Amino acid sequence: MFGIPGKSPITMTKTAEAQIAKLMASGGHKGLRIGVKKGGCAGMEYTMDYVDEVDPNDEVVEQNDACVIIAPMAQMFLFGTEIDYEVALLEAGFKFRNPNVSEACGCGESIKFDDALTTEQS
């Protein structure tokens, strides 16, 4: 919807791709929906949900066996994002390297986008 023809709106590292494919296979889901919602100390949070039905307005990104579906309202916020999956000593989880983020809170759970993006949504 907000993409550039021939360019994927998001990319996935090999580890993220493998983890998403594993999650899809274990539950028989069509993909993983990525979105954003208001919340957290910086103002916005990423959301992730399993998808069994793809909405016609969703942006679908397939990379080998992994499928990420981007919710319509999140497309402009996520364009250019790289999704990674990191495993550390005390935690494991998806990490978003998003060039549209202007600030992130100390806990790493919430983000703030450039005012130009959030103003367009109002």
Go through the domains of the chain in sequence order and give each one's CATH number: 10-121 (2.60.300.12)
Nearest in space to 46 (alpha carbons), one of 30, 33, 35: 35
Task: Determine the pLDDT at residue 65.
Answer: 93
Instruction: Check if the beta carbon of residue 62 is closer than 8 Å to that of residue 8.
Output: no
Q: Look at strands 44-51 and 81-87 and give their pairing.
A: unpaired
Model pLDDT for residues 17-75, shown as the tens digit of each residue: 999 999 999 988 999 999 988 877 767 888 999 999 999 999 999 999 999 999 888 88
